[in-house]
Amino acid sequence: MQALSNSNSTKSDANRVRALSDEIRALKSRLNAVILAHNYQVPEIQDLADFVGDSLGLSQQAAKTAADVIVFCGVHFMAETAKILNPAKTVVLPDKDAGCSLEESCPPDQLRALQQTNPNFYTIAYINCSAAVKAISDVICTSGNAVQIVNAAPPDRDILFVPDENLGAWVSELTGRKMTLWKGNCYAHVEFQRDGILALRERFPDAKIVVHPECLREVRDIADEVCSTEKMIKYCTANPARRFIIVTESGILHRLRKECPGKEFIAPPIYDPMRMPTDRCRCSECKYMKLNTLEKLRDCMLNLSPRVELSPEIIERARIPIQRMLEITAKSSSR
Ligand code: 13P
Ligand code: SF4
């Protein structure tokens, strides 16, 4: 009886996903829309999107789209970036509350105050920040191009890296450039702990450890590879290993399993001190990324809301460091 009701609910869920997906596809062609989705989105959204990728790939796609409407399935700062690159287009997102702890950690007035303490600062802002912070930064970077962006910074300037201290420390190690680091972090990535991952590797000694640079240094230090989510896909595809421990938000596992059939991907558990001892273990999910659902995606296309709206001054100023990032990235990848 139990098995029958489980299989009925799986069937009705599959029907729900199919019906919603058909509705979204019809809306997409009616609106001449493009759906861009981050690697952390739920599988149903990834499967429907025109492009799934990391922050760098998504901003490159946003910069060249010919669509009239951009539907951004990610978090708010990503949709803002798409709007800054396309001021005349309509940019909508499924949930306007999809924020980011890094963005929250860096209010523009506090950044401005720090910048005023040293006129020689050259501000490199990780893309995980608000449009207002981008507008007062010299250049933007993502985890996929941070090394190139730091290497391209004028050698006589003092780098101020905001808002992720972990990404900043990693890129400082790789480039040898000293920098002042803003004290922000990703609340989800700093929950990964070295001991838990080492215990997993003891169980699976053949597994490669792949870590996002937003993780703590103690975790980065035991990695076989530290990279952006898109580079994780490339690394796992090319590497002959059959098993990988993937230390980032668990949404990435969907693409990894699809694009690397026959390989095994393991999400390390994280430990939540707020929970009872019997229920301490869970996989890492970004609560903001996971606010987006197929229903909300359909609704934002039906209503063309919530929409990203920014003032023309912010758009004009924030566009400069984003364009600079895209140009530096294009130049270094054509070399
Ligand atoms: P990527 O650009 O590597 O996908 O990272 C985005 C992000 O928000 C990581 O938490
Ligand atoms: Fe922000 Fe972390 Fe979520 Fe990425 S995973 S969007 S950095 S809170």
- Strand partners for 246: 210
Does ligand 1 come within 6 angstroms of the Cβ of 54?
yes
Does ligand 2 come within 6 angstroms of the Cβ of 186?
yes
* Residue 280 confidence (pLDDT): 53
How far is the CA of 150 from the CAs of 165, 167, 232, in angstroms?
14, 12, 21
Does ligand 1 come within 6 angstroms of the Cβ of 229?
yes
Residue 38 CA: which ligand 2 atom is closest?
6
Give the mutation target among 100, 104, 250 for probing the ligand 2 site: most ligand atoms within 8 A of CB.
100
Q: Do 297 and 276 share a structural domain? A: no
Does ligand 1 come within 6 angstroms of the Cβ of 44?
no
* Residue 10 confidence (pLDDT): 81
* Residue 278 confidence (pLDDT): 47
Q: Give the closest ligand to the alpha carbon of residue 231.
A: 1
Residue 188 CA: which ligand 1 atom is closest?
10
**Does 82 map to a domain?**
yes
Q: Do 204 and 266 share a structural domain? A: yes
> How many domains in the chain?
3
- Residue 272: pLDDT above 70? no
* Residue 281 confidence (pLDDT): 57
Please write the tens of the pLDDT for every residue from 160-191: 999 999 999 999 999 999 999 999 999 999 99
Residue 288 CA: which ligand 2 atom is closest?
3
Does ligand 1 come within 6 angstroms of the Cβ of 186?
yes
**Does 320 map to a domain?**
no
Which CATH number goes with the domain that contains 151? Answer: 3.40.50.10800
Q: Do 71 and 32 share a structural domain? A: yes
Q: Do 299 and 276 share a structural domain? A: no
Please write the tens of the pLDDT for every residue from 26-52: 999 999 999 999 999 999 999 999 999
Does ligand 1 come within 6 angstroms of the Cβ of 55?
yes
Q: What is the spatial distance between Cα 225 and Cα 221, in angstroms, rounded to a whole number?
A: 10
**Does 113 map to a domain?**
yes
Average pLDDT over residues 265-270: 89
- Residues 307, 92 contacting (CB under 8 angstroms): yes
**Does 322 map to a domain?**
no
Please write the tens of the pLDDT for every residue from 313-324: 999 999 999 999
**Does 318 map to a domain?**
no
Nearest CA to ligand 2 atom 7: 186
**Does 304 map to a domain?**
yes
Q: pTM to 2 decimals? A: 0.94
| Residue ranges making up the domain that contains 138 | 102-185
Q: Ligand 2 centre from 239 Cα, in Å?
A: 27
Q: Do 172 and 116 share a structural domain? A: yes
Q: Do 35 and 14 share a structural domain? A: yes
Handedness of CA 81, 66, 46, 305 (dihedral sign): positive
**Does 327 map to a domain?**
no
Which residue type occupies 266? Answer: I
Q: What is the spatial distance between Cα 232 and Cα 211, in angstroms, rounded to a whole number?
A: 8
- Residues 201, 195 contacting (CB under 8 angstroms): no
Q: Give the closest ligand to the alpha carbon of residue 287.
A: 2
Length of the chain: 335
Please write the tens of the pLDDT for every residue from 85-141: 999 999 999 999 999 999 999 999 999 999 999 999 999 999 999 999 999 999 999
Q: Ligand 2 centre from 195 Cα, in Å?
A: 22
